[in-house]
């Protein structure tokens, strides 16, 4: 890895860490950057998953004030996140990815649309306040599990998808939902680090360059997200999600 590659990865890591903390989708910055340095796509994917994990952790630290009172909720969904991520990692390592590559753009665009039309959808499915506690708990577990499977397999725009789905079932301000998203993303990231470290070809030199940069970007991004008005944060997430979905759609059919 030459100096130009190192500088490119540092810039990409800082940008991705900030984007992940604010909206999710930072992997769409680091993943193509790793490919640009010469890594094959699968190796770039697993290296990226390992590299962005420290940024998720720093995002949690930066948004910890908005996690107050959510400890019980976090503990309740962690098992679903752990099991789902292991399943997603197994899919990546054991099966061809072409079919999933075609599906992913539509999932991402659907997530962005869900958040954009959140109020209208609430009118159809009901406001979280009117949802029965048992139904809300089961739906939350399902959302966390499905998101974790996706995160273990690829993970780009995982934050967008989590925020969009959680906003439909949780009666919480968006910044608190964003903080919960950071915890879930960090959990998914931790599992992928463990699995890929043992069973995949990780470029550890690239990780050593990217990871510290994502920490800086993640912490700063989380602090910025806390100060943004709810509408601005929502529009940013929708914009990032739509852009990421269109990029993935182009890549899938190019």
Taking only the tens place, the pLDDT of each residue in 89-135 is 999 888 777 787 788 888 888 888 887 887 777 666 666 777 788 88
Residue range 125-168, pLDDT digits in tens: 666 777 788 888 999 999 999 999 989 998 777 888 888 889 88
Q: Kindly state the average pLDDT of the residues 220-224.
A: 82
Domain hosting 11: range is 3-253
Q: Picking from 43-47, 77-81, 127-131, 184-188, which range would have the lowest pLDDT averaged per residue?
A: 127-131
Q: What predicted TM-score, i.e. pTM, was given to this entire model?
A: 0.83
* Best CA proximity match to 218, nearest among 9, 5, 26, 46: 26
What is the average pLDDT score of the chain? 87
Q: Percent of the chain beyond pLDDT 90?
A: 36
Look at the chain and report how many structural domains it folds into.
1
Q: Percent of the chain beyond pLDDT 70?
A: 96
Token pair 């019980």 is found at 72
Regarding predicted confidence, which is higher, 64 or 232?
64
**What are the CB-based long-range contacts (under 8 Å, 24+) for 69-74?**
70/176, 70/179, 70/180, 73/140, 73/180, 74/180, 74/183
Whether the Cβ atoms of residue 82 and residue 205 lie closer than 8 Å to each other: no
Q: Which residues of 64-83 are buried (b: 16+ CB within 10 A; e: fewer)?
A: eebbeebeebeeebeebbbb
Q: How far apart are CA 71 and CA 92, in angstroms?
A: 31
């Amino acid at each position: 890895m030459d100096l130009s590659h190192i500088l490119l990865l540092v810039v990409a890591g800082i940008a991705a860490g900030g984007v992940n903390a604010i909206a999710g989708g930072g992997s769409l910055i680091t993943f193509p950057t790793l490919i640009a340095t010469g890594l094959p796509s699968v190796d770039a994917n697993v290296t990226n998953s390992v590299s962005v994990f420290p940024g998720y952790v720093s995002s949690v630290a930066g948004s910890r004030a908005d996690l107050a009172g959510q400890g019980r909720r976090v503990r309740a969904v962690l098992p679903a996140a752990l099991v789902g991520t292991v399943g997603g990692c197994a899919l990546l390592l054991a099966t061809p990815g072409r079919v999933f590559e075609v599906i992913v753009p539509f999932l991402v665009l659907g997530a962005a649309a869900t958040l954009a039309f959140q109020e209208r959808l609430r009118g159809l499915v009901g406001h979280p306040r009117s949802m029965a506690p048992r139904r809300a708990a089961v739906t939350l577990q399902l959302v966390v599990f499905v998101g974790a499977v996706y995160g273990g397999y690829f993970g780009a725009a995982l934050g967008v998808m989590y925020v969009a789905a959680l906003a439909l079932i949780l009666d919480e301000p968006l910044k608190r939902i964003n903080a919960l998203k950071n915890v879930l993303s960090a959990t998914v990231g931790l599992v992928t680090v463990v699995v890929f470290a043992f069973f995949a070809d990780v470029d550890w030199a690239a990780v050593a360059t990217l990871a510290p940069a994502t920490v800086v970007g993640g912490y700063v991004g989380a602090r910025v997200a806390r100060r943004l008005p709810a509408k601005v944060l929502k529009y940013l997430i929708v914009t990032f999600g739509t852009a990421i979905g269109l990029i993935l759609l182009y890549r899938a059919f190019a």
